Each structure stands twice: as C-alpha cells, then as structure tokens.
Structure 1
Amino acid sequence: MSAPQRHRYAVVIPTTGRESLLALLHALETAAGPPPEEVVVVDDRPRPELPLALPPTGLDRRVLTSGGRGPAAARNAGWRGTEADWVVFLDDDVLPGPWWREQLAQDLDDVAPDVAACQGRIVVPLPAHRRPTDAERGTAGLAGAWWITADMAYRRDVLTATGGFDEDFPRAFREDADLALRVQALGHRLVNGGRTTEHPAPVGSLLTSVRAQRGNADNAVMRRKHGPGWRRLSGEGPGRTRLHLLTTAAAGLAPLALSRRPALRRAGRLGAAVWLASTLDFAVRRVLPGPRTPAELGRMAVSSALIPPAACWHRLRGEVAVRRRGRMPAAVLFDRDDTLIHDVPYNGDPDLVRPVPGVRAALDRLRAKGVPLGVVSNQSGIARGLLTGDQVEAVNAELRRLLGPFGTVQVCAHGEDDGCGCRKPAPGLVRRAAEALAVEPGGCVVVGDTGGDVGAALAAGARAFLVPTRRTRCAEIEHAALSAQVARTVSEAVDRLLRGGVR
C-alpha cells in the first residue's frame, strides 16, 4: 500500500499583535505532523513603531505588513506572498490541537479534486461551573459556523481565480462568507475536515455587543453582491433587522407622548409601549440562557436598549455606501500589450512577458468583487507572417500564469487592410468577449492605452478607460477626455471603477 500524498501548505496568520499570537505559534510549532512550507505572519497594525516581538521557532517564518487595512487585506497579502499548493488561514487567537499538523495533512489528502477548501473543526471551551455569558455564547456560535477563517484551508489556484478576499470588508466579519459564496459560484465544493482547533471565548465588556453592530454595514455589502438570499446561502439565521427597525421607529415616536395634541400624544404612547415591549422581549431572550448575575443583567439591560438603533444606523450607513459605489460593470475587458504587460513588438516568446507594475493587484480586486475579466488584443503579426497562432497562445498562457485567470481572451489575427470587423477600433473583439462572458456589451468597460481601444468600446456600446503610455498620441488623450475616462494607471482606473461603479 502506497504512502498517503503529502500536500505542500503554508500557514497565513493576520494579526494586530495580540498576546494570543505567541500561544498560537507555539502550538503550531509543537503540533505533530508534517510542518508547513512556511508560516506567514501578517502584521496589520496601522503604524507599528516596533516590529512584532516573536519568539524563535523551528518553522520557516516570515513577517509581512499590510498597513492596518483589515483582515481581508492582510490575508491577501499573506497568500499572495506564498507559493504553496494550499494556504491555511488561522486567526491569531486560536490554538491548533496537538495533532493538528497530522490531521491537516490527512484532511488535504482526503479531499476530492472539486473541493476548493477544507475547514477545521472549531471547539469553543465554555465554563463548566456556570452558564455562558452573552459574549461567550457569541463565540460559541463559531463552532457551527460555515466556512470561517479561524481555521480554513484553500487551494491556492482557487484563491487566484477569485482574487482572494474582498477588501471592501474592513473587519473580521462576512469577508470569509463572501469568499466561500464566490468560490461555490465557480462550481467548487467546500468541506469540513477532521482537524481540531480551539477558539477561546473572550471576556465581553458592557458595549461589546453594541460595537459588534458595525457588522450590519457589511451585511449591506453581502446583499449587494449575493442577493437577498445571502443569509441562507451562507448558513446564517434570519437576523433581527426588521425587529430592530420596528424597535427604533417606536423609540422615535415615544417623545410624542409629551405633545399637547391628542393624536400625537396617542401615537407617542403607542410608540413607547411598543419600544418597551420589544426591548424587554429582546433583553429576556438574551438573559435566559446566561448566568443571570447582577453584572450580566445590567449589561443585557443597557445593551438591549442600545443594539436596535446601533444596528439600524450601521445598516443604513452600509446601504448608503453601497449605493454611492454605484453598479459594478458587467465585465472589464483589457487590452494586452502596454496595458497588462510591457509591449514587445510581435512577441512570440513567453520568456519576454513582463507584467506592468500594479496590474496584478488591480485585477485581483476586480476578481474579489466577482467582476468577469477578459482580454481583447490586436495581433496583426499573425497576418504579416511574423507570428504564429501557437506563439500568441503561448504568450497568452504566460499572461494567465503571471496575472491570473481571464474569462476570455479574444485575439484579432488580421492586418490593417483586411477589412475585418474585429480589429480594434472595430467593435468585433469587444462583442465576442461579451458573448463569451455571457454579458451585454453595453455593460462592459474596456481599459486600454490607445484610441483604438476607446473606439472599439464606444462602437460596441461599452464604456472605456484610456490609460496613456508613451506611444499614446496626444490627440487620442484629448478625444478620450471627451468620450471616455482617462486614468494614469490601470490601478487608478480600477480604483475609480470600484469607487464609483459604472456611470
């Protein structure tokens, strides 16, 4: 009987420097089983004055920084800095079990080819001598949560295909569910493994549950990206948004009880009664499962009154932010040479392919939003006998390897005088790419460096961004300023697309 396959894996740990990180690193080092290829600790402190004080370890370890942009950005920085086949994400406050590395290796050996990710089993130890507090019960819910990154292993090629975590999620909330839904939308499966990881329950303060309502802004992003059924798809319960809205509206009416006008006074009294009843009901539901100590009763009373308006405020804030961003394009189509990669005239050698700096990160940001990507490229060298179709395809294969997958790559092999309908500025390439991506040309945005790219977009009914280079003529820039949008870099064009959507 042959030995089981051992997969190459790396561990990525985003952190803000919490003391729990040291215990995690120790547990990871002492666990039995094959060691990771490397451990990448991502320091997400906004402005660290000193480097992280980490103990020496026998594991291959690196520290990266992500500038305090949140766990989604930190995880992206981590996995993009590794080359292992699998990337295992651990939160900095968990403790892998003593056999974690061996169990992980077995989990990865057992997954089928269509499995994109494997989640560890989360165990939350609760006090045996009393009932758990509200904060402890909240953490205990992680034991049954779907696809959380407290301990989650993803195939690297799947992270590449999706662009990783969406950095529109600024906190440790919903960014893991969003990635899981996008991965499943590509036809992959996610499974539970047998490895065990402990997640200690934190000690909650008076306002812990109130501050947690900031996540309602992220719920607005989930609704925009995945539709109204996102809760069911991600294993979430129905939520209390409508009840919180009713409670908050009733509280807003209550001051009318002081009015001198009878009708307003009745409305105010009704509002006060509804607010009191709903707040009491909410508080009782939270008190009954808990220890019912005086301190816990006080926390539940105060926070139960504050949570509904806080939840409504953050949800409103999220909905406003989503609408300000505008509608995402149906697809973004890129010119190839001098837009995605440096132009080498009539290049048929994959070894000469060099990506334009910053392009990969910009493409991954679009992938993380679920925006389909394509390439539309004139390659008249084929018509002139300077290139073969196989050489062009070899260069495009290297493009995909360096910059990630594209939903379609459309090439015009004709010369300038062939009279085809696909050579830019004709609209054929844009229309073919839109058809291949199953979107309407009018919903697409074309990003390129010449007037031909802009002309092809406009002729197909699409929108365009011109990103000038040294070969872009001044007249092309002037024309694009009137009929399209002009950006200095691909990254800037993508920033503006994601910030303002399609106008």
Structure 2
Amino acid sequence: MSRDVWHLGTAQALQSLSYSIVIPTTGRPNLSTLLRALDASRGPHPAEVIVVDDRPAGEPLELPRIRYPTRQLRSGGRGPAAARNTGWRAAHTEWVAFLDDDVITGEDWTQRLSEDLDGLGPGVAASVARIVVPLPEDRAATDDERDTQALMGAKWITADMAYRRCALVEVGGFDERFPRAFREDADLALRVCKAGYRIADGRRVTTHPARNGGFLASVRRQRGNADNALMRAKHGRHWRQLTGEGPGRLRRHALTTATGGLALGALAAGRRVTAALAAAAWAGLTGEFAWKRIEPGPRTPAEITRMAVTSALIPPAACAHRVRGELRVRTPSAVLFDRDDTLIEDVPYLADPEKVRPMPGAAEALARLRSRGVQLGIVSNQSGLARGYFTTEDLQAVNARVDELLGPFHTWQVCPHAPDELCQCRKPKPGLVLRAAELLRVPVHRCVVIGDIGADIDAAKAAGAKGILVPTRRTLPEEVERARRDAAVAPDISAAARLALEVL
C-alpha cells in the first residue's frame, strides 16, 4: 500500500469522527480570535461549535462568521460548570470538546484533536490536551503569571479537554455547586474515573496566555478555598493526592491568622507582652510567606509592594472562605421532585424517551437550586411497571432522557408497585422520601418535596419533610386547600424553587 493511499484512508477514518466544540464565555475579547483560529484550522471539522454565553444578561454576542455551524446559548451567569452543562446537553455528537474562551489553538488543532480521539476504546472517557503558558523571556514571571503557569502541571484541565458524551450523561456532567473556574474540572474527572473510565493524555498542544488580574487578584483567588471544602466532602481527605496536587498552605494560613488574632486580642486586653510575642510570630509567618512569593519574581517595587500587602491579606481570606465552604457542605439540604407534571409533561404510562418534554421553567428552577448548592432528587410513583404497561428498560430509558435534559440528579427513587400491593414506598407513604434523604445524607427536615398532587405533599409530611404543591389540571381543589393549610402552594415550578430556598 502506498503512503498516499494510507493517508487517504486515515483521513477518511478521522473525518467520520463525530464531535462538537463547546466554548463557555463571558464575552472576553479572545473569543473572536479563538473562533477564527478554529475556522482556519486544518483537519476534520466539528459537527458544530456551541458558544455558551454565561453573562447574566445583555444582547447576544457578536460572533465572527466561520465555516462551521455555530449556535449561541445562554446559561444565565451561573458559572463555567453550568455553562458547560448547557453546551454538552445541547450537543448530539459522540464527543464534546471543551475549550475556554481565553485559549489559543494552533493551525492544526482540529487535526490533532481528531488524531487524539481516533481509536480510543469505550473504556476511555476523555482526552486532555497539553497546556502551554508562554512567559516573558526578558524577566522573571510575576505572581499572577506563575499562577497561570501552574495549569501546565495540572492533571485535568477543561481549558482543552474532550469528553465522550455518554460518560457525561452517566455521571451527570459538571457539578454546578462549583461556581467558578476552579476544581469543577478535577471533580468531574474524578467522578468519571470512579465510574470505571480512563482519561487519555492527548498530543495536541493549546496555548493559555498568562493572566494579570490586578493588585488584589491573589486575594480574590482565595475564594477557591470554599471549593476545596466541597472537594474534601465529595472525595475524602486525600483528594489532593487523587488530583496530583501537593499539599496546600491552609494550615500555615490558619496559624498565621490565629497569631494575628491573638496579637489583636491581647493588645485590646492590655496584655502587651503576649501581644508583642504574638505579633512577632505573625510577622515572621507573614514575612516568610511574602518572601516565598517575592523571591522568584521580578522584584520590582510594584511587585514587592503587592506581594507584601497581599501576603498579609491572604491568610485570613483563605481561612474565612474555607470556613464558609465547610459550613455550606456540613449543613446539606435537598429538594426532591415528583417527575410527571412537575418536572416533565405528564404522558400516561410514559415508555418512550422521545416523548419527554420538560415543564416550562423546570430547567431554570433546577439551575437556581444547583447554584445554591442544593442536592436534587426525584421521587416518583411508577405503577405502570407493575401493571405491565412498560418494562424496566423503558423506565430506565425515559429517566435517562430526563437526566439528559434536566440533570444531574443526585438520586432517583422510584416506586414500581401497584396501589394494591400495600408497599411502604408508594406516595403518600414516606418511603421514597426517607430513602432519598438517607442516601443523600441529608436530615429529612432539611428536605423539601415539590409535587403536583396531594400524595406528594402527604408523603413529605409523613416523612417529616417540607412540602410545596404546584397545582396543575390534575390537582383536586381539596388538595390545594389542604396544602395551603399544612404545607405551601406555589403557582409554578420557578416560584416553588424560590420558596424552597427560603424555607431551607
């Protein structure tokens, strides 16, 4: 076989790859540059490019015209995790390639991506690119530039990472409780690996320009300590080792903050010796931290001043954000939804996933709850299984479609029994609610059940949870009156979500 024939066969095989590109954005200037670079790239073209505008509001973005089909979606300013979820759920290809809007791709990026994905077996869920951060050659890197440079050693970076869509569906996509571009990619990768998949290192190379975030950028970055608390809650105390990271400085920051607080407290109490000793300890710890940041940098007057000031502010900021994160994950809450006529339109004994239609406002209501860190579940009576109207496989396919359109949900609890079987799980019995609360490790009094009929509210009351009724055409007048007296009534699912956040 000639070399030319071999190349032709390889090109045809790569061309058969099915992939979409998802780019979450807040409208940064580099977005247009990135789209033009993709347009000029050599290699098998994507099925489409999906740009997800994560600004809270505003006119649609003006995007350059490119040869690939392009869609622009909105995610409502809920952060990159929610934006990426919006993008991949709208895609219908085997692979979804995520790019950040501030990266720079090479002239052969589509070719390299296709080669990285070609031949990956079903046990491989993702391919990650090699990230390069160019730094100035005529001087040492600043603190901000070194922070960006750390991306080069990170294990899983969705600045350029392609996922098999079925794996995203299986694990529920990105956890939207991560509100910023920090840890959400490592969390997803860990969950994908725990599901039994592998992640492959690709050979494509993508450039990520160094950031310069202003005088207090390093202090603002301490908000990520709240996300570290969520990582620890989800993946255990050794999560840093699992993600390939070294130990953090939180313990040293806590000691610095404690000595500073002791110095101020002792001074206020008139204990000058204690205050002086504590102040000296604080100064030593802060000086050590500042020098560690100053020593490798350019050591200009502006950089030294910034490092000195921010080194004093970072320890208390880091500790405050970590405490905030720990409180958030240690006081869990959950909202449990009925499925039919609450989250999706009611189709009697639904067995066809193609007939799944979300209720108006359902996606937005779920997004609001996820952004507040609320765990979500579904509690649903499905007696059609016992009656023989559909099979277990039919039910799983329908629920998978609900997950695809509206997920992720942290738990699905389904009663498969007929009414005359006298089980303890069929609503209005409390079994589904109690089981969901147990699996989510949420006290049942921190659960809210949202449904459209009296049985949903009665199940919540029997379990010790709160109930919110969203009436539909099926809801009886007496059920509405009983809910007004014993629980709460909302006009629609969006209002129910807002009310749930108020009572939790």
Evaluate the alpha carbon distance shift between residue 456 and residue 68 of structure 1 in structure 2; reply closer, same or farther with a 3 A threshold: closer
Listed one character per residue, the Cα deviations across residues 34-90 of structure 1 (whole Å, up to 9, x for unaligned) are 111111222233343x54343322222222233333222322232233222222111
Q: CA deviation at 1:458?
A: 5.3
Residue of structure 2 in register with 1:280 after alignment? 287
Aligned partners of 2:83, 2:90: CA distance in 1, in Å?
11
Judge conservation of contact 2:377–2:436 (CA < 8 Å) in 1. no
Residue of structure 1 in register with 2:389 after alignment? 388
Q: CA deviation at 1:150?
A: 0.9
Aligned partners of 1:440, 1:379: CA distance in 2, in Å?
27
Judge conservation of contact 2:415–2:432 (CA < 8 Å) in 1. no
Evaluate the alpha carbon distance shift between residue 126 and residue 461 of structure 1 in structure 2; reply closer, same or farther with a 3 A threshold: same
Q: CA deviation at 1:229?
A: 3.1
Evaluate the alpha carbon distance shift between residue 483 and residue 76 of structure 1 in structure 2; reply closer, same or farther with a 3 A threshold: same
Evaluate the alpha carbon distance shift between residue 500 and residue 138 of structure 1 in structure 2; reply closer, same or farther with a 3 A threshold: farther
Match 1:293 to one of 278, 281, 300: 300
Match 2:341 to one of 326, 338, 342: 338
Match 1:37 to one of 47, 53, 56: 47
Residue of structure 2 in register with 1:379 after alignment? 383
Aligned partners of 1:409, 1:212: CA distance in 2, in Å?
39
Q: Does 1:245 align with 2:246?
A: no
Q: Does 1:267 align with 2:274?
A: yes
Q: Tell me, which stretches of 5 or more residues in structure 2 are unaligned?
A: 1-5
Judge conservation of contact 1:124–1:199 (CA < 8 Å) in 2. yes
Q: Does 1:107 align with 2:107?
A: no
Residue of structure 1 in register with 2:323 after alignment? 316
Match 1:149 to one of 144, 158, 166: 158
Listed one character per residue, the Cα deviations across residues 164-220 of structure 1 (whole Å, up to 9, x for unaligned) are 333333322222223223333333333321111011113353322122222223323
The more displaced of 463-472 and 234-243 is 463-472
- 1:23-172 paired onto structure 2 within 5 Å: 23-48=33-58, 50-172=59-181
Letter in 1 for 2:400: R
Residue of structure 2 in register with 1:212 after alignment? 221
Tell me the SS of whatever aligns to 1:356: coil
Aligned partners of 2:189, 2:132: CA distance in 1, in Å?
21
Residue of structure 2 in register with 1:327 after alignment? 332
Evaluate the alpha carbon distance shift between residue 361 and residue 119 of structure 1 in structure 2; reply closer, same or farther with a 3 A threshold: farther
Match 1:452 to one of 441, 455, 458: 455
Evaluate the alpha carbon distance shift between residue 156 and residue 322 of structure 1 in structure 2; reply closer, same or farther with a 3 A threshold: same
TM-score (norm. length: structure 1): 0.82
Tell me the SS of whatever aligns to 1:192: strand
Evaluate the alpha carbon distance shift between residue 188 and residue 361 of structure 1 in structure 2; reply closer, same or farther with a 3 A threshold: farther
Aligned partners of 1:245, 1:105: CA distance in 2, in Å?
47
Q: Does 1:12 align with 2:22?
A: yes
Judge conservation of contact 1:217–1:317 (CA < 8 Å) in 2. yes
RMSD (Å), alpha carbons? 3.7
Match 1:430 to one of 429, 432, 441: 432
Count of residue pairs brought into register by the alignment: 488
Evaluate the alpha carbon distance shift between residue 475 and residue 278 of structure 1 in structure 2; reply closer, same or farther with a 3 A threshold: same
Evaluate the alpha carbon distance shift between residue 359 and residue 129 of structure 1 in structure 2; reply closer, same or farther with a 3 A threshold: same
Judge conservation of contact 2:415–2:426 (CA < 8 Å) in 1. no
Q: CA deviation at 1:297?
A: 2.3
Letter in 2 for 1:124: V
Q: CA deviation at 1:348?
A: 5.9
Aligned partners of 1:351, 1:155: CA distance in 2, in Å?
22
Q: CA deviation at 1:92?
A: 1.3
Tell me the SS of whatever aligns to 1:285: helix
Evaluate the alpha carbon distance shift between residue 45 and residue 229 of structure 1 in structure 2; reply closer, same or farther with a 3 A threshold: same
Q: CA deviation at 1:20?
A: 1.8
Evaluate the alpha carbon distance shift between residue 282 and residue 479 of structure 1 in structure 2; reply closer, same or farther with a 3 A threshold: same
Tell me the SS of whatever aligns to 2:162: strand
Judge conservation of contact 2:469–2:488 (CA < 8 Å) in 1. yes
Evaluate the alpha carbon distance shift between residue 236 and residue 478 of structure 1 in structure 2; reply closer, same or farther with a 3 A threshold: farther
Aligned partners of 1:340, 1:258: CA distance in 2, in Å?
58
Judge conservation of contact 1:135–1:203 (CA < 8 Å) in 2. yes
Tell me the SS of whatever aligns to 1:292: coil
Listed one character per residue, the Cα deviations across residues 339-381 of structure 1 (whole Å, up to 9, x for unaligned) are 3432344566666543323445666788997957455324369
Residue of structure 2 in register with 1:177 after alignment? 186
Match 2:243 to one of 234, 238, 254: 234
Letter in 2 for 1:376: S
Evaluate the alpha carbon distance shift between residue 76 and residue 345 of structure 1 in structure 2; reply closer, same or farther with a 3 A threshold: closer
Q: Tell me, which stretches of 5 or more residues in structure 1 are unaligned?
A: none
Aligned partners of 1:321, 1:136: CA distance in 2, in Å?
31
Q: CA deviation at 1:471?
A: 1.9
Letter in 2 for 1:273: A
Tell me the SS of whatever aligns to 1:203: coil
Aligned partners of 1:380, 1:258: CA distance in 2, in Å?
72
The more displaced of 226-235 and 117-126 is 226-235
Evaluate the alpha carbon distance shift between residue 366 and residue 321 of structure 1 in structure 2; reply closer, same or farther with a 3 A threshold: closer
Letter in 1 for 2:168: L
The more displaced of 420-429 and 86-95 is 420-429
The more displaced of 150-159 and 444-453 is 444-453
Tell me the SS of whatever aligns to 1:95: coil
Tell me the SS of whatever aligns to 1:89: strand
Aligned partners of 1:182, 1:472: CA distance in 2, in Å?
39
Judge conservation of contact 1:217–1:316 (CA < 8 Å) in 2. yes
Q: CA deviation at 1:271?
A: 1.3
Evaluate the alpha carbon distance shift between residue 382 and residue 252 of structure 1 in structure 2; reply closer, same or farther with a 3 A threshold: closer
The more displaced of 34-43 and 455-464 is 455-464
Evaluate the alpha carbon distance shift between residue 150 and residue 338 of structure 1 in structure 2; reply closer, same or farther with a 3 A threshold: same
